[in-house]
Structure 1
Amino acid sequence: MENTASGTESGSGAVTAGDDAFASGRPVLFRGATVVTMDPGAGVLPDTDVLVRGTTIESVGKALEAPADAAVIEAAGALLLPGFVDTHRHMWQAPLRGIGVDWTMAQYIEWLMIKWGPLFRPEDIYAANYMTMVEAVNDGITTVTDWSHGSRTPEHADAAVDALFEAPGRARFAYGNVFAPDLGWVVDGRVDQLLKARFSGRPDQLVTLQMAVDIIYGPTDDAREALKFARDRDLPVSTHAGSFGLLGDEQIKFLQETGSLSPSYTLVHASSLSDDAFRIIAETGAQLSISAESELNGGMGYAATTQARRFGVPVSLSLDTEVWGSGDMFSGMRATANADRALAHLHSQQGGEALAINPLRAQDVLEYATLGGARALGLDGIIGSITPGKRADLVMLRLDAPAKTPVNNPAGHIVFHAGRGDVDTVLVDGRVLKHRGTLIGVDQSRARRLVDESLQYLRSQIPDEEWEQALNPSAGATAS
């Protein structure tokens, strides 16, 4: 793939796109890409053009005529796909990236949630969210769910939302508060105030709202009230579920009894639930968010794609936390495929047979990361596939490195061979945010400065010995 220099004429008065060509909001034409539409009726389209006008994908086809004022991106040899959708990430934890790469789930709870989480100020939440959105867009993740269970005060929530509105990209603010003793915070007025002040209720705005409600203490009155609150306001809900030793089938039965489970309810992990629980999930239309890197490394249980497939439960992917995970959807897709296939082979071999076919295909995993994520957020009518009329959330991958040539299976290539370093161009809602591998109109230096300042503050509050113990955990070492 070649990008011609900025300002070069490209027929019909259009110009071949350099970074300055996008400032005026002119139409954008991708010329000659292999388009991985994720639209079930369209499939993969070789040597195809995609025209974006305003916020919308206007047309997809061969040799489209370039509007006179279009910015043309020569995309021959490139893959064009819908942007990735991350349905669950604790963005507020970004300043502690990598501190817990050797942690188990118990150590995560002990170190981060009990000891260090309460140290975060509103400005730390802002810095983390802003940095994570910049990183996500740079990596081709055009929609991120901020599973914001660090929003322990209204000021923390306001800071999180401020960052999402001010940073590039599409976001879902999932309002949570893991530090509260119960779920009374849901109904005390703070959520209603935020809903009225910041969210219009339009499903196509760039930042939308849902609830992040964990049913940790069982079927309590405050949990019933919180779930009713969300239903009364037609707010989607996401809940951690099936985390080994913490949240089991009883939670699923409670959610069913209260009438809470529905297609707008997303269960995160679901890694240690029984078949009976999966039958309930399937019957209600609720959806899963799989975080395979976390589930495999932290010990929540095995990634639940096998059960989801057996019972017909819709799946999306998420990246959970960069305290121990990569924050990279390419890695997330590979972890998902590897986990599913390893389990399938193990079960087959335990029965004395070799597996005849991999039941989970690369195309399935790519759908989880794109259209599946849009569906989980109730946004599949506007994003998740390259379909005329949908919003232009697009990612173009350059494939000019030796390890990326040739491309024989586009979906398989994206899942198993591509990486975030291949992300050449990113559009969100029709706006070009990255081109030629460089972010456009995004203040990366500010993002880095803010998160560095946040880390400096947090380190000033954490004793050196405690920090070293967390970096090099040993059996019996805790944050207490």
Structure 2
Amino acid sequence: MPQPPTAPRAEEFAPDRPFVFRNATVITVDSAGVLENADVLVSGDTIAAVGPRLAVPEGTLEIDASGGILTPGFIDTHRHMWQTALRGYGGDWALSQYFVFYYLTYGNIFRPEDIYAGNLLSALESVDTGVTTTLDWSHGLRTVDHGEAALQSFREIPGRFVLGYGNYMGSPGEWANTPEFREFVSRNFSSPSDMLTLQLAFDVTGSPDFPEKGAFEAARELGLRVTTHAGVWGATTDTSISQMYDAGFMTPEVTYVHATTLGAESYQKIAATGGTVSVATESEQSAGQGYPSTWAIRKYGIPASLSMDTSVWWSADFFSAMRATLSADRSRDHLEAHARNETIVTNRLRAEDVLWMATMGGATSIGMADKLGSITVGKKADLVLLKNDESPAMTPILNPAVHVVYQAGTADVHTVVVDGKVVKYEGTRLGLPLAPIRDKVAASVEYVRSQIGDAWEEGMHPEIPADEAIPNPYAYTDSGDAQVKASS
């Protein structure tokens, strides 16, 4: 019986040295499906071979993946990374309180170094949890210096990133056409790279004069994709979709974030024009954008990806995102059936569908389906090995896709590979200590807290209005030795 390979030491990984995962359960997320006891060979930045008992070049490092699951790297298509420095600060907020805090009150106090610190922490968390590509929905870029700070953070963390450039304090039709922004684009994105790409991030408010028209025109001129919050209760409505459609701006290059409260006609327009939807289930369930949209959009054949939104509420735990999405979709199915006095006997959305959203769905959303999202020969080597020999939750592995969605967790992330580079191995990040980033975040938090002043504590604990109690007639009172029902 062949013995498992000796575990390589972290220092043995080198950019020019191939390595192979041996004897994994490989979820390819392509037509090959799930491969048992299979190998995946990585050469340079590319997946070189997939299959059982692969012959590999001499000198190839071998990683024992037996008892583990190898998946494509997860792709988060909507994350306000700069807000990670205030992790959990708004955990008890409703969406309106989020808007008041950032949009109306304190958004202008955040400096470029605050953007940098929050992005650094978020980027480190992403690769640590197996999120190999993150779209930074960076709507706090009041100046191009803020944008440069965001980019600097990405250059220091070995992940794959998309900067969704936005500035909620200005009109997108204006800032996207300023000389400063155009120079920023030319300076940073004149040489194509699939490690760091650019999109425009802005919302269509439904204002009759359609002030976002200039931003769409800028995106078209610059060859950039657009990501926009759509179908957010009380904020972005069907009117926004109609304006975009009538102007000819709805294309496969647009991602609609949330898309929870749209009508059938809007969903049909998204489907007909090849758009995608980024679903942030934990956010939608808690903050109130609307019911998570997978239940609605799958009826129209709209591709979905997953996202975590912001750590001012939630973490970057993509297992939580997958689990919440599958559960929310099934819950809605049951509720709708019960309202018709029917019973669901077959779950329509499956774990493998949600895993597709977390990988190929994300790659489709950012326009990189030809390079990312599946374990396919010739694609970029962005991979996650889930393996934890001491975790009861990692044995037995009977249904691999269900195991990833409903059983595994961040503690089971053994190895993370981004662009062929091992950035985490045996559960430990390689050359990526937390301490320097923690210090930068602490300095940022102290500054922000000093600017907010006495309102800091109040901001974390919004007051709960008093509810009027509902009278209950089903109480009991003592009457002698007997219990009698109290009169209402």
Deviates more, 1:24-33 or 1:340-349: 24-33
Alignment of 1:29 with 2:42, yes or no, is: no
Alignment of 1:278 with 2:267, yes or no, is: yes
Q: Which residue of 1 aligns with 2:309?
A: 320
Partners in 1 of 2:191 and 2:342 — Cα distance? 53
Q: Which residue of 2 aligns with 1:403?
A: 393
Q: Is the 8 A contact 1:124 1:454 kept in 2?
A: yes
Q: Is the 8 A contact 2:15 2:44 kept in 1?
A: no
Partners in 2 of 1:344 and 1:65 — Cα distance? 47
Quote how far apart the aligned CAs of 1:124 are.
Answer: 0.7
Q: How do residues 69-80 of structure 1 correspond to structure 2 at under 5 angstroms?
A: 69-80=59-70
Q: How do residues 236-255 of structure 1 correspond to structure 2 at under 5 angstroms?
A: 236-255=225-244
Q: What amino acid does structure 1 have at the position aligned with 2:89?
A: I
Q: Which residue of 1 aligns with 2:478?
A: none
Which among 56, 62, 72 is matched to residue 46 of structure 2?
Answer: 56
TM value normalised by structure 1: 0.94
Quote how far apart the aligned CAs of 1:191 are.
Answer: 2.8
Q: Which residue of 1 aligns with 2:204?
A: 215
Q: Which residue of 1 aligns with 2:451?
A: 461
Q: Deviations over 1:210-233 (max 9, x none)?
A: 100211252535411111111122
Partners in 1 of 2:392 and 2:255 — Cα distance? 40
Which among 55, 61, 67 is matched to residue 65 of structure 1?
Answer: 55
Q: What amino acid does structure 2 have at the position aligned with 1:48?
A: A
Q: Which residue of 1 aligns with 2:368?
A: 379
Quote how far apart the aligned CAs of 1:259 are.
Answer: 1.2
Partners in 2 of 1:366 and 1:399 — Cα distance? 20
Partners in 2 of 1:366 and 1:98 — Cα distance? 26
SS in 2 for 1:144: strand
Which among 216, 229, 250 is matched to residue 261 of structure 1?
Answer: 250
Quote how far apart the aligned CAs of 1:182 are.
Answer: 5.5
Which among 298, 301, 315 is matched to residue 290 of structure 2?
Answer: 301
SS in 1 for 2:48: strand
Q: Is the 8 A contact 1:25 1:431 kept in 2?
A: no
Which among 348, 352, 357 is matched to residue 368 of structure 1?
Answer: 357
Q: Is the 8 A contact 1:86 1:317 kept in 2?
A: yes
Partners in 1 of 2:120 and 2:224 — Cα distance? 24
Partners in 1 of 2:75 and 2:191 — Cα distance? 20
Partners in 2 of 1:296 and 1:418 — Cα distance? 22
Partners in 1 of 2:148 and 2:350 — Cα distance? 41
Alignment of 1:334 with 2:323, yes or no, is: yes
Q: Which residue of 2 aligns with 1:88?
A: 78
Q: Is the 8 A contact 1:30 1:73 kept in 2?
A: yes
Partners in 2 of 1:262 and 1:60 — Cα distance? 34
Q: Is the 8 A contact 2:141 2:147 kept in 1?
A: yes
TM value normalised by structure 2: 0.92
Which among 19, 24, 27 is matched to residue 10 of structure 2?
Answer: 19
Quote how far apart the aligned CAs of 1:258 are.
Answer: 1.5
Identify if the C-alpha distance between structure 1 residues 66 and 16 changes in structure 2 by more than 3 Å, giving closer, same or farther. farther
Which among 351, 365, 375 is matched to residue 340 of structure 2?
Answer: 351
Q: What amino acid does structure 1 have at the position aligned with 2:262?
A: L
Q: How do residues 187-202 of structure 1 correspond to structure 2 at under 5 angstroms?
A: 187-200=177-190, 202=192
Partners in 1 of 2:19 and 2:246 — Cα distance? 50
Quote how far apart the aligned CAs of 1:163 are.
Answer: 1.1
Q: Deviations over 1:42-95 (max 9, x none)?
A: 000000000000000000011112322211101111100000000000001011
Identity of aligned residues (%): 44
SS in 1 for 2:367: coil
Which among 80, 97, 102 is matched to residue 87 of structure 2?
Answer: 97
Deviates more, 1:322-331 or 1:48-57: 322-331
Q: Which residue of 2 aligns with 1:7?
A: none
Q: Which residue of 1 aligns with 2:476?
A: none
Partners in 2 of 1:469 and 1:49 — Cα distance? 54
Partners in 1 of 2:79 and 2:444 — Cα distance? 19
SS in 2 for 1:65: coil
Aligned length: 463
Q: What amino acid does structure 2 have at the position aligned with 1:19?
A: A
Partners in 2 of 1:277 and 1:124 — Cα distance? 37
Q: Is the 8 A contact 1:292 1:335 kept in 2?
A: yes
Q: Deviations over 1:168-224 (max 9, x none)?
A: 20000000001115531111123321221111353x520000100211252535411
Q: Which runs of 5+ in 1 are unaligned?
A: 5-9
Report runs of 4+ in structure 1 exceeding 6 Å deviation. none
Deviates more, 1:213-222 or 1:375-384: 213-222
Deviates more, 1:435-444 or 1:361-370: 435-444
Partners in 1 of 2:7 and 2:315 — Cα distance? 35
Q: What amino acid does structure 2 have at the position aligned with 1:33?
A: A
SS in 2 for 1:183: helix
- Over the aligned positions, Cα root-mean-square deviation in angstroms equals 1.6
SS in 2 for 1:187: coil
Q: Is the 8 A contact 1:17 1:73 kept in 2?
A: yes
Q: Is the 8 A contact 1:241 1:270 kept in 2?
A: yes
Quote how far apart the aligned CAs of 1:435 are.
Answer: 0.1
Q: Which runs of 5+ in 2 are unaligned?
A: 467-488
Q: Is the 8 A contact 1:201 1:208 kept in 2?
A: no
Q: Which residue of 1 aligns with 2:175?
A: 185
Partners in 2 of 1:62 and 1:255 — Cα distance? 49
Deviates more, 1:262-271 or 1:225-234: 225-234
Asked which structure has the greater CA Rg, the reply is 2
Q: Is the 8 A contact 2:381 2:419 kept in 1?
A: yes
Identify if the C-alpha distance between structure 1 residues 187 and 222 changes in structure 2 by more than 3 Å, giving closer, same or farther. farther
Q: Is the 8 A contact 1:37 1:45 kept in 2?
A: yes
Quote how far apart the aligned CAs of 1:404 are.
Answer: 2.2
Partners in 2 of 1:376 and 1:190 — Cα distance? 28
